[in-house]
Structure 1
Amino acid sequence: MKKFLKITAAIVILLLVFYFGFFKYRQIQANKILIPLTTETLFKINVDELYKTIAVSYIKHPGQYSGGDKKGIKEKIADLNTGLTIPANIYIYTLKGKAENTFFTRLEIADSLAFNRFMLKKLALIKKEAHFFQSADSTFSLLFNKTTVSLAFTTKKELVKNILEEIQDQKNMIKINDSKFEHIANLSDHLSFQNAENLSKINFTDGKIDFSSELVNRWIEPAAEPKHRILNPESTMSMWLNGKIKSDLIKKNHTVSPSLFSKDSFFRFYKDYADFEWTKTITQVDTIVGYEYNDDFEQVEKKILQDRKIPSIAINLSADDKAVSDYLQSLGALDQSTGKISSLMIPLYQVYFKGNNGNVLLSTVQGAKPDLKRASSDDFFYFKVDFKKLIKQTSIPLIADKLGTFNQLEIKAKSIGKDKIKLESELLFLNGDANALIQLLNTFKNGFNSSLDFNLSVDIPASK
């Protein structure tokens, strides 16, 4: 028995060594890739890490992937019979001198006959020249030989054939490990993105998408020691910002508008703090003006009171409350006796103004009195939305249809140096057992127009 166990253990160890060695070898080979010298932005899809993460999810929660189709994404892509070799990492890049939304990549062809069939039948491309094909609208271009294919996608309908020829022939290229994108090559994150000002990462785990980004900050001067008002943790939606708007941004966005929520008005009055909170649903009484005929057959005005369910919303600003009040009065938009703001300025809800001691409160609740005490934080920005409550409190079918899969979104931002911030976010799904990427594809599969049918249909219950 002991001998059997030892042999079994040795076999398992050898299989694990082979497994991890195989994926390590694929990563090493993938990172020998050449990219153009003029690459400005690089996207990386870590195919192998996605395979492994989704495979583990299938093993841990097989019941979440119900139905007769138990295939993983790798097998589903293989079913397309593209004829392409799927590498450990796929790199997509934008180039200097081309539009920011023009993307290029290069892949190897494993089966040229299968690739030709796939290109003509599935992609429905039009032959322009020998080995050069384009979509009918010229946004997708493809250049190939027997062993490789170079691709371009652009919304600007740019001329890309010369660039594709250089990529195909590996001219004016550099090894990714010798380039300014060396760091991204060694990342194990599922998706990553890098340019001169931004390094972002996305990971898809069971029931969650994690996103982080380190980027140059051109908009906000974060407070040296951020503080925020303590908001209700049970809110449907909440947000706070503790930082000054950079002066250059104010100048760029300077416009003349009579709206209280225009950029000009906001930048004019905002100092260094703002928060927003949607706590629950409340009832507001609206006055509806109608007309009817009296006994003399004369048309007379008739006012009808009607109850309406609306969000309980409060917006707090550190601002010159007297200046805001004077501004509203100058527009004839403020009823001083009630604090009500004219519906011509804010048409959706009855909103009330209250100002005191350098603080402005705009609320759908008349007589609201916020607690202005603040707590310290490492973050200068925070945002959260509870999708379950949002759907319950709104009656917009599109929201329920597309956001019903999600549970909560949370975003935080902190300063990590001069003019640099780190943004972190977490998107939670109602179903915490199925992989987030599979759930995301299922949620939006009917909302995206695509010429490719990836057959990624997996029946995933919303909850256990």
Structure 2
Amino acid sequence: MKKKKIIVPLLLLFAVAVYFVVFHKDKTLRYIPENADAVILIDSKKLMGQYLFSLATHPSSWSGSDTKSKSSSSFKDSGIRIPDFLQVFHIKDTKFSEWYSVLELKDPQKFIAFLKKQKFADKGNSRFQKDQVFLMIKGDHCIAGTSELAFETVQKQLFHTSTAPVWNADQFIQNTLGSLSFMSGQKTQNFSIELLDDEIEIRNNSNQEVFNSIASKLQKGNNFLEMELDQENLRKFSYFLDKGIADSLRATSFKATANLEQVNDTIISYEYDDNFNEVEKKTFQKIIQPNYSIEIQSKDPERAWGYFQSKKWINGENQFTQIPFQPNKISQNSEGVFIKSTRKSVLSSPQLQENYIIVRNSTLLYSSLKTLSNKEKKIISDIDYVLYGNKSQDYWVKIKAKKGDLPLILRW
């Protein structure tokens, strides 16, 4: 009887501990500024649970888990307070590549020591940088970003404004590993993020059949890039490049096909001999260039052509100068404007009457990315393709990895 009296309270204590460690989550989001127009949330506890489950079900990874466990433990001991929901946001009217996050620090000095071990450069004024990661430490908080341009704005909005908004995780995420949300006024559009064994999916609809038809049509392709976009999709994507270009061209659709090729590039320079005569010097280097075909269907091809001319994007040889990979040739007919590389022709992929962008992996792609670290190159080389699809109000992005012995969460 005495043993039972002891065991029952212990089991209850264990159950309570498991609940708070595994299931209980603080859903209050304090670090999303009012002028954020996009938010990424990552459920930290769900991510850890998925990692531990994958580790337990793949004994072959145990022998190599020491390095990962050391790196994860060193991160836990870095002085950072790991939140239940990691909050990453984009600020309105900033570059698409600029994303920020705010982290709470348990021990700022310990965190600074951690940054030095990770070879972050100290830029002074409590700012640090390593590659494209920028950090600013203010008291018990750290503002992190892919840029430092909005650090002061973020600091003022979140730490010096009594009316800073407080969000709830349920507004963005529903029982998934993560979410991507776009906010416009009072409207919020949420996309779930799921990490599967060999793919990452981002979508706003659980109906897989919507996109299976698109994916099946692209199975036989082998081009590096294939894309078809209707007027609405073209308008949305052009927002990140030139907000008014789709309307200026009166474009109804956009189609492109491209392949990569390694070519010899000739560099001509000049030097002087002993008599100060100018001597031409030729050197050669191997570079990666695309061969491509682009079709812009337009309601008014003459207007589209005139728009390009007004921007001075067409030179005297009818080359489209906004594409740096020349030579190319731009032309028009009654249906639209066409741009094709002339060094090597590319057959346009079949018309599918779908909205999609697919980028397939190529050894020429990641072998040319010399600025990336070996780990980053390993991740890119492991990707099979990236696919975007849209049908009506349903959107979907799939990052498909090559088949491997381990799931992505243990590989990356």
Q: TM-score range by the shorter chain?
A: 0.5 to 0.7
1:61 matched residue in structure 2: 58
Classify 1:165/1:398 alpha carbon distance in 2 versus 1 (closer, same or farther; 3 Å). Answer: closer
Q: Is the 8 A contact 1:245 1:272 kept in 2?
A: no
Cα drift, residue 358 of structure 1 = 0.6
Which residue does 1:182 correspond to in 2? 170
Structure 1 residues 115-156: Cα deviation after superposition (integer angstroms, max 9, x where no partner): 5xx43233359xxxxxxxx9723922244xxxxxxx352742
Aligned to 2:120: none
Residue 38 (structure 1) shift: 8.9
Task: Flag structure 2 segments of 5+ consecutive residues without an equivalent.
Answer: 1-10, 115-123, 128-134, 206-213, 272-276
Partner of 1:268: 248
Q: Deviations over 1:385-427 (max 9, x none)?
A: 22234427x744236953443323423242555xxxx432222
Q: Is residue 2:371 matched to residue 1:398?
A: yes
What is the identity, as a one-letter code, of the residue corresponding to 1:315? I
In structure 2, the residue corresponding to 1:277 is in which secondary structure? strand
Kept in 2, the 8 Å contact 1:55–1:72? The answer is no
Matched, 1:408 2:384: yes
SS at match of 2:290: strand
CA 61–80 in structure 1, closer or farther in 2 if over 3 Å, else same: same
Q: Which residue of structure 1 aligns with residue 49 of structure 2?
A: 52
Flag the structure with larger Rg: 1
Give the Å deviation of 1:271.
1.3
**Correspondence for 1:211:** 202
Query: Which residue of the partner structure matches residue 337 of structure 2?
Result: 360
Alpha-carbon spacing, 1:77–1:424, altered in 2? closer, same or farther (3 Å): farther
2:262–2:286 Cα contact (<8 Å) kept: no
Distance 1:64 1:314, change over 3 A: farther
Aligned pair partner of 1:136 in 126, 131, 146? 126
What is the distance in 2 between the residues matched to 1:58 and 1:64? 7
User: Matched residue pairs, number?
Assistant: 350
CA distance in 1, matches of 2:68, 2:324: 52
What secondary structure, in the 3-state scheme, does the structure 2 residue paired with 1:397 have?
A: coil
> Equivalent of 2:223, from 230, 235, 257?
235
Find the aligned partners of 2:242 and 2:75 in 1 and give their Cα distance.
Answer: 51
Unaligned runs of 5+ in 1: 1-14, 108-114, 126-133, 144-150, 215-225, 254-260, 293-297, 441-464
1:277-296 matched pairs, under 5 angstroms: 277-281=257-261
Contact 1:207 1:431 in 2 (8 A): yes
Q: Is the Cα–Cα contact under 8 Å of residues 234 and 254 in structure 2 kept in the other structure? A: no
For residues 34 and 63 of structure 1, the distance between their equivalents in structure 2, rounded to whole angstroms, comes to 38
Query: Compared with structure 1, are the counterparts of its residues 364 and 44 closer, same or farther at alpha carbon in structure 2 (3 Å cutoff)?
Result: closer
Kept in 2, the 8 Å contact 1:276–1:316? The answer is: yes
Taking a change above 3 Å as real, the CA distance of residues 232 and 276 of structure 1, as seen in their structure-2 partners, is farther
Q: How much identity, in percent, do the aligned residues show?
A: 15
2:25 is the alignment partner of 1:30: yes
Counterpart AA for 2:44:
V
The one-letter code sitting in structure 2 at the alignment partner of 1:182 is D
Matched, 1:387 2:374: no
Structure 1: how far apart are the matches of 2:178 and 2:290? 37
Paired residues for 1:130-209 under 5 Å: 136-137=126-127, 139-143=136-140, 151=141, 153=143, 155=148, 156-157=151-152, 181-184=169-172, 187-194=174-181, 195=183, 196-209=187-200
1:350 maps onto 2:352 in alignment: no
Residues in 2 aligned to 1:351 and 1:301: alpha-carbon distance in whole angstroms: 27
- How many Å separate the matches in 1 of 2:33 and 2:342? 53
Give, in whole Å, the separation in 2 of the partners of 1:435 and 1:348. Answer: 38
Counterpart residue type for residue 333 of structure 1 = N
Q: Which amino acid aligns with 2:401?
A: F
Name the counterpart of 1:111: none
> Aligned partners of 2:306 and 2:80: how far apart in 1?
69
The answer to whether the 8 A contact 2:249-2:307 is kept is no
The 3-state SS of whatever aligns with 1:410 is: strand
Are 2:396 and 1:424 aligned? Answer: yes
Whether the 8 Å contact between 1:190 and 1:203 is mirrored in structure 2 is: yes
How far off its partner does 1:349 sit?
1.9
Q: Cα offset for 1:54?
A: 1.4
2:260/2:288 contact within 8 Å kept: no
Contact in 2 for aligned 1:39/1:93 (Cα 8 Å): no
Task: Report the alpha carbon displacement of residue 79 of structure 1 after superposing the two structures with TM.
Answer: 6.0
- The separation in 2 between residues aligned to 1:95 and 1:283, in whole angstroms, is 38
**Per the alignment, do residues 73 and 18 of structure 1 end up closer, same or farther by CA in structure 2, a change over 3 Å counting?**
farther
Instruction: Provide the residue aligned with 2:319 in structure 1.
Output: 341
Structure 1 residues 20 and 346: alpha-carbon distance in aligned structure 2, compared to 1, 3 A threshold: same
Separation in 2, partners of 1:232, 1:51: 37
* 1:314 corresponds to 2:293: yes
- Partner of 1:56, secondary structure, is helix
Q: Are residues 1:90 and 2:85 paired?
A: yes
Give the conservation status (yes or no) of the 8 Å contact 1:235–1:278.
Answer: yes
Q: Check the 8 A contact 2:80/2:104 in 1, yes or no.
A: no
Question: Is the CA contact 1:94–1:104 (under 8 Å) kept in the aligned structure 2?
Answer: no
After superposition, the Cα gap between the structure-2 partners of 1:94 and 1:321, relative to the gap in structure 1 and judged at 3 Å, is closer
TM-score, normalisation: structure 2: 0.59
